Chains A and B, each alone.
Chain A
Amino acid sequence: MGPAGPVIYFVGRLDEAANLGDVGTVIPPGHVVLDTSGLTFVNSVGMREWIRLIRILRDRGVITLVRVADVLMAHMNVVREFAQSVRIASFHAAYVCNACGAEATPLIDVMQHGPALAAMQAPRMQCTECRGVMELADFPERYLTIFKA
């Protein structure tokens, strides 16, 4: 598994009300795991705060992101510096069922699908409603640029 560390959970909105620079100062030095599956909204100010936090933590040890929220994952693929700064273990992404049209944000395990993700190929998932095949509902670049080999 490699480096782990204490797990920090993020819930709710990541916007101007979030002061992650202060959060960074209270996290003990060393490796750290950030779980952002509870985030529901991220704007550009929230992204700046997120970048501040990552810049503080990356000099202290390995940052592992688990269950990265769909809304954060899409933004992280717009900002180029993340690929070198964090290790992503799993993330949520928008999927759509080819058969019934259902939409969902299933969890993608990066260890399990690593080579495909590096080749910008999103794994197919099973629809929880009709058991049909779900595919990524957007361009792979929106979620997978960060894994590009």
Chain B
Amino acid sequence: MVVHPERKAQRALQRLVGATLCPVVVVANADALTTIVDSNTVVIVDLAIAQACPELVQRPAKAWIAVPGEGLGPADPEVITSLLTAGWTHVIAHGMPILAEELLATVQKLVRDDAFGLEKYMAWGAEVRRYQLADARDREAAVDALAKDVVAVGLPDRVGSMVSVIADELIANALYAAPVDADGTHFRRGEPRDQGRPLTGRDQISVRWATDARYLAIEVRDRWGSLDPATVGRRLVAGATPPSGGAEGGMGLPLAYACCNQFVVATAPGRDTEVVALLDVRFKPTDLGRAASFHAFVTTAAVPQEAGDP
């Protein structure tokens, strides 16, 4: 289902979604939705319509995806913020051609219920590099190695610097925020971060990255499945203002989000969480949307494990 007021944009979006071989219905406004949308429908909505009717996302559907409006150009960051605050879990910030790549991957992940793996964002042929952390204290070494590897393939130091921040925050989140006990308490949140801890069993995390000269993707996966996709978007844009005193401010994920162009969360509740941060390395940053896209997937399907995984 495509809801967009512009005929040219409608055609472009219909072709894009049609590439999945799913039936596509195109309408010009939100009024037409009430009778056609059901829990199996993926609804693609113009950002302006989504902003005017943010409550749409509360209606049952497989997913609501907000896409750029006029001319399918980059989105206004304030609109992205308002939709994430309203609880939208799929918001695309970038215009063509990134929009096409991002929308196709998103719709296929939803339709196939296959949400995990950075390979879905890479062109065929891109090699995936993996780091295994044996101990929580290996985080700094893994981040340094990743940043050096990224620069070694020819990407600029600026990207290496961004990668350092993103990887560090995502790994720290997997190590200290993800573990939960039976009561849902995040029992490692206050743990000293300079303390060693063997990463075995459910504490194992995997860190992978790849680039195809369009995107650089960093993926961090934990075995807890505790990140709430319904609220993480709000946290990303709530502002990275830490509270007074020594309490955790939750600044890590907002900083990682601020450093990337697309932030993708996949959760198999109680089993796995994967965060993929994508940096566009084709275009000048100023040619892209100033805000990053956001996607949150929830799946009950089996999560494919890699060789060497538990």
Contacts and interface: CB of A to CB of B under 8 A. Distances in A.
Contact of B157 (A78, A80, A103): A103
Interface string A71-103: 100110011110000000000001010000001
B79 to A, nearest CB: 15
9 contacts: A44-B240, A47-B255, A74-B259, A78-B240, A79-B241, A79-B242, A96-B284, A103-B158, A141-B290
Given A41-B164, A138-B286, A81 B241 contact: yes
Interface of A: 13, 15-17, 41-45, 47-48, 51, 55, 70-71, 74-75, 78-81, 94, 96, 103, 136-139, 141
B198 interface: no
A138 B241 contact: no
Given A43-B252, A44-B169, A44-B252, A80 B285 contact: no
A137 B285 contact: yes
Contacts of B172: 43-45
Contacts of A17: 194
B146 to A, nearest CB: 13
B255 A75 contact: yes
Given A43-B168, A43-B252, A139-B290, A51 B242 contact: yes
B161 A71 contact: yes
Given A70-B161, A103-B156, A45 B284 contact: no
Contact of A78 (B158, B161, B254): B254
Contacts of B259: 74
A84 to B, nearest CB: 12
Nearest to A16: B193
A42 B172 CA distance: 13
B284 A43 contact: no
A44 B194 contact: no
Given A81-B241, A137-B285, A138-B286, A44 B161 contact: no
Contacts of B18: none
Q: Which 10 A-B pairs have the closest CB atoms?
A: A44-B251, A16-B193, A44-B252, A138-B285, A94-B158, A78-B240, A43-B168, A103-B156, A139-B290, A44-B255
A79 B240 contact: yes
Contacts of A139: 285-286, 290
Contacts of A80: 239, 241
A75 B140 CA distance: 19
B60 interface: no
B169 to A, nearest CB: 6
A55 B241 CA distance: 13
Given A43-B252, A137-B284, 9 more contacts: A13-B140, A17-B194, A41-B168, A44-B240, A44-B251, A47-B255, A79-B242, A94-B158, A138-B286
Contacts of A15: 140, 168
A81 B242 CA distance: 10
Nearest to A71: B161
Nearest to B252: A44
Contacts of A74: 258-259
Contacts of B242: 47-48, 51, 79
B165 interface: yes
B249 interface: yes
Nearest to A95: B158
Contacts of A48: 242, 249, 251
Nearest to A136: B286
B158 A137 contact: yes
Nearest to A55: B244
B159 to A, nearest CB: 9
Interface in B147-172: 156-158, 161, 164-165, 168-169, 172
A51 to B, nearest CB: 6
Contact of B255 (A41, A78, A96): A78
A103 B159 CA distance: 11
Nearest to B244: A55
Contacts of A81: 241
A62 B15 CA distance: 59
A13 B144 CA distance: 12
